[in-house]
Structure 1
Amino acid sequence: MNDDQLLRYSRHILLPQIGIKGQETLIQSHVLVVGAGGLGSPAVLYLAASGVGKLTICDSDKVDLTNLQRQIAHSTDRIGIPKSDSAKKTLAGINPEVNVIALNERMDERGLLQLIRNADVVVDASDNFPTRYIINRVCTLYKKPLVSGAVVRFDGQVAVFDLRHAHSPCYHCLFPADGEDQDMRCAVMGVFAPLVGVIGCVQAAETLKILLDIGQTLNSRLLLLDGLSMEWRSIRLNKDPSCKVCGTNEYYPKSGS
């Protein structure tokens, strides 16, 4: 690291769990963030500020006035431009050393196969089950750590599915695709603005811990937050041996390519 980097990241370097070696690890890391909205905004802000060297941000939406109540990576003067581009501009002002790749498209399974294969950690900040299921399947294929978050109304949740470990459950174990779960979009249900910041920041923290291999992550746990009572609950998750994604080779019987 150069002198400017030593100064910029000095508060990290002071932490014995991180130090110079850990900060260098972050600088050399690549994180994929799917979604640049309520959850993705605080996540990418802290990942960039913390010095993650490469961030790929995927989002097909454009900034809308209704987003600005909670999506803090964007501003009023950017209404109408792609969210990924808006986030990139914001991050350049925070830490110009970070290489931000902005992808203004909704990624299908083929696109995610390439992106996830090249990432160290995947942050799922999307807002719909189909996208979450695709991300989970590809993370399972490549054994990539997945940091998943969701918020609706006054309720938030975050979990880590560290698929590098054989015992780890995947997202499909928790929410089977053939279950009765339905998307609860903010546009219909509403969302308490600060709550997406809390959950997005937890996603960023878990991502950094995974990259640094420090502490105990939320792997195999679901952390739930009731924003009205400000009470947290932690639920232990178990791998489903009959899971159609991580329990079999149903989706990718050969190489997955």
Structure 2
Amino acid sequence: MDERTPAAPGRTGGVVPPLVSPGPPLTSAQRERWSRHLLLPAIGEVGQRRLRNARVCVVGAGGLGAPVLQYLAAAGVGRIGVVDVDDVELSNLQRQVVHGVADVGRAKVASAADAVRRIDPDVELVEHHVRLDEGTVDLLAGYDVVVDGTDNFPTRYLVNDACVRLGLPEVWGSVFRFDAQVSVFWGRPPGGVAPVQLRDLFPEPPAAGAVPSCAEGGVLGAMCGQVGTLMATEVVKLVTGAGRPLLGRVLVLDALEARWAEIPLVGGGARSDSGEGTGSRAAVASGSADQATAGEVPVRTVTPRELAALLAARTDAPAGRDRMVLVDVREPAELDVVAVPGAVNVPLARVLDGSGLSGLAPEAPTVVLCRSGVRSERAARALVAAGWSDVAHVERGVLGWVDDVDPSLARY
């Protein structure tokens, strides 16, 4: 089972040799536990020993990380690291199936660790309760393969650039609404296979606020299970050398149509001469999505409590050109979850293209609101550019309003 036919030199995709050497012989109990793997010619006992000797780091204990963690533990992976800095929130439970109601408020890494240990108490579970940045990302060097289940662009590019630099294979997935993508990236694959990375698919991260997140646009919870289990399968294939990994191929899922499609991906277009992600790109990717683009003048901010005071004062003020206008630039469906009273809804796209400005008064004091403060900052700059003289946006957005002003509202 260990013989593999290498791909032709420079070819994208193809078979690669097993990533991990076999560990110690299996005990009788282990042979029984993983007997269904032992029956598979492409895995067998040697493959199971490779899994038991493998070190896999899962970045993100959310919608994608949850099924990945469960199935890697069930598959017998010996050491699993989980990286996440967030706590469990009620809105996570729709898709993040390693967490339950009793875990709300706990660190996600702790909740996920408990779930993994319930599956297999012998797994060496390493909790990395840190935010990945340039100073912490090298913790990935202690693993054989990295799984990216994150939900924000800066971290995705940071992880990919680190994997390229460290020579680690990366199993990558992305979900949004009813659509998903899965692939495997590897900056220095063996067997003559061409290198490929995230920057070959998407050379640069989008501008802050340009692409809505799942928290803003929604995601089908069950689809996270479909995609996460596929990602776990790719990890097993890489570790054991079974089959053909998704190197140089991107699987695209349209869940509403129940249709998978495959897109070829040619590597090498976004790398420097050293074969690694460039430093400038890594710096962009590691920056905060809330930071202003270089050269832009930051717009004024108000806190949620200051907004509450402005709204109270507006109630007592007569209608007129000096009356403050609150503009909510979220999508209409988001207002169905939680809305701040007295706001006018003009989605960000209609602010940016100007189609939603006709009903607003440039001379009126204007405060812009979104979910977290990213889209509102972008909209506020657009209003200033369009001639508005008195514009501010709400820091932390609706999330801050719920936290600081009205905790009875839903937090999403």
Q: Residue 73 of structure 1 is aligned with which of 98, 114, 134? A: 98
Matched, 1:50 2:78: no
* Inter-partner Cα distance in structure 1 for 2:49 and 2:188: 22
Residue matched to 1:228: 256
Equivalent pair of 1:42/1:72 in contact (CA under 8 Å): yes
Q: C-alpha root-mean-square deviation of aligned residues, in Å?
A: 1.8
Paired residue for 1:217, among 245, 261, 283? 245
Which of 16, 19, 32 aligns to 2:41? It is 16
Residue in structure 2 matching 1:195, options 223, 235, 241: 223
Match in the other structure for 1:133: 157
1:111 Cα deviation after fit: 1.4
Aligned amino acid, residue 47 of structure 1: L
Could you report, residue by residue, the CA deviation over 1:59-109 in whole angstroms, capped at 9, with x for unpaired residues?
111111101011000001111001111000011111111111112221212
Question: Does residue 197 of structure 2 align to residue 170 of structure 1?
Answer: yes
Residue 183 of structure 2 corresponds to which residue in structure 1?
159
Aligned position for 1:255 = none
**Residues 242, 194 of structure 1: alpha-carbon distance in 2 compared, 3 angstrom cutoff:** closer
Choose 179-188 or 213-222, whichever is displaced more.
179-188
**Quick one: distance in 1 between partners of 2:273 and 2:101?**
41
Cα distance 1:178–1:192, how it changes in 2: closer, same or farther (>3 A)? Answer: closer
Q: What do the CA deviations read for 1:109-145 (whole angstroms, capped 9, x no partner)? A: 23111x2211111000000111011111111011110
TM-score, scaled relative to structure 2: 0.59
Q: Deviation of residue 178 (structure 1)? A: 5.7
Contact 1:140-1:246 at 8 Å conserved across structures: no
Q: Give a deviation string over 1:200-239, Cα, whole Å, max 9, x none.
A: 1111000110000110111011100000001011000011
Aligned equivalents of 1:91, 1:245: Cα separation in 2: 41
Q: Distance in 1 between matches of 2:143 and 2:239?
A: 11
Q: CA 1:33–1:173 in structure 2 vs 1: closer, same or farther (change >3 Å)? A: same
Partner residue in 2 for 1:121: 145
Whole-angstrom CA distance in 2 between matches of 1:43 and 1:248:
27
161, 168, 171: which is aligned to 1:144? 168
Shift of 1:251: 2.5
Paired residues of 1:221 and 1:235 also in contact (CA < 8 A): yes
1:57–1:245 CA distance, 2 compared to 1 (3 A): farther
Seen in structure 2, the aligned counterparts of structure 1 residues 24 and 111 have a Cα distance that, compared at 3 Å, is same
TM-score (ref. length: structure 1): 0.93
Superposition deviation, residue 180 in structure 1 = 5.7
Q: Which structure 1 residue ranges, 5 or more long, are not aligned? A: 253-257
Q: Distance in 2 between matches of 1:224 and 1:178?
A: 19
**Structure 1 pair 85/246, CA: closer, same or farther in 2 (3 Å)?**
farther
Bigger shift: 134-143 or 172-181?
A: 172-181
**Residue 241 of structure 1 contacts residue 247 of structure 1 at CA under 8 Å; is this kept in 2?**
no
CA 1:33 to 1:199, structure 2 compared with 1: closer, same or farther past 3 Å? same
The structure that has the greater radius of gyration is 2
Residue 296 of structure 2 corresponds to: none
Q: 1:90 to 1:178 in 2, by over 3 A?
A: closer
8 Å Cα contact 1:128-1:183 kept in structure 2: no
SS in 1 for 2:135: helix
Aligned twin of 1:239: 267
Q: Is 1:91 the counterpart of 2:113 in the alignment?
A: no
Q: How does 1:93-112 map to 2 (within 5 A)?
A: 93-112=118-137
Deviation at 1:246, TM superposition (A): 7.0
Inter-partner Cα distance in structure 2 for 1:212 and 1:246: 29
Asked whether the 8 Å contact 1:35–1:59 carries over to 2, the reply is yes
Alpha-carbon distance in 2 for matches of 1:52, 1:103: 17
- Kindly tell me: are residues 248 and 98 of structure 1, through their superposed partners in 2, closer, same or farther at Cα, counting changes over 3 Å? closer
Stretch moving more, 143-152 or 234-243: 234-243
Aligned pairs, number: 251
**Whole-angstrom distance in 2 between the partners of 1:248 and 1:138:** 9
Structure 1 range deviating more: 168-177 or 38-47: 168-177
State how far apart, in whole Å, the 2-side matches of 1:248 and 1:140 are. Answer: 6
Distance 1:242 1:224, change over 3 A: closer
Give the distance between the partners of 1:249 and 1:90, measured in 2 at CA. 35
Code of the aligned partner of 1:171 = L
Letter in 2 for 1:161: F
Compared with structure 1, are the counterparts of its residues 219 and 177 closer, same or farther at alpha carbon in structure 2 (3 Å cutoff)? same
